[in-house]
Amino acid sequence: MKIVIVTGPPYSGKGTQCEIISKELHYTHVSTGDRCRQEKERRTEIGQIMSRYEEKGDLVPDSVMKTLFGQILDENKQRDGILLDGYPRTKPQVDHLLELVAAKHLEISLVINIEVPREELLSRAMKRAESSTREDDRDPETHLKRVRIFENQTLPAIAYMKTRITVVDIDGIGSIGEITRRISAALKS
């Protein structure tokens, strides 16, 4: 099974690109946020643990996320590959994922890093807010907070990944099709 990580800031189009690329490659698209919401809605054991942390306003510990990703890898071991959308986001999560992948005798084939300037991200966030049904998408302060968290936590994690795994930076400005072509070219090379 091939593992491809798709990373980038919030509102960079990671989810959209993963949906398109997963159909092209016949890979499973694993959105961290969607999967966590599903676990909580189904009230699975891990979902209940996540809920308890979030109810206190705490982040879900990396150890819980590592357990969840172990389950995801096991569930998809017969697939051609998976696209990890939104994970890892921190240096410790990078280490946890690399340990987990090595323990399962797998490897990460590539990291696609979609780059978009801050001003464009915030513009996209406002457009998404117009059509979104998610309450957290409607608050401009939330948009800025998400971008700042990315800049403070995930950018250093991406820099760290570049020392451990092949990372390809993709220009995230342009039409959806243009960005898809850039990603497809990176995956083929």
Contact call for residues 21 and 14 (beta carbons, < 8 A) = no
Torsion of Cα atoms, 70 then 75 then 79 then 80, to 10° = -10
What confidence tens digit (pLDDT) does each residue in 16-38 have? 999 999 999 999 999 988 899 99
CA distance 138 to 123: 13
| DSSP β-bridge partners for residue 167 | 111
Q: Residue 105, SS3?
A: coil
Q: Which of 12-21, 84-93, 116-125, 126-135 has the highest mean pLDDT?
A: 12-21
Instruction: Give the single-character DSSP code of 69.
Output: H
Produce one character per residue of 129-139: b if its CB has 16 or more CB atoms within 10 Å, e if not. beeeeeeebee
* Topology at the third CATH level for domain 2-188: Rossmann fold (3.40.50)
What confidence tens digit (pLDDT) does each residue in 152-185 have? 999 999 999 999 999 999 999 999 999 999 999 9
Instruction: Give the single-character DSSP code of 121.
Output: H
CA distance 84 to 3: 7
- Give the confidence band of 132 by pLDDT, cuts at 50, 70, 90: low
pTM, rounded to two decimals: 0.87
| Of the candidate ranges 3-12, 23-32, 68-77, 123-132, the one whose mean pLDDT is the lowest | 123-132
Report, as an integer, the average pLDDT of 2-24.
Answer: 94
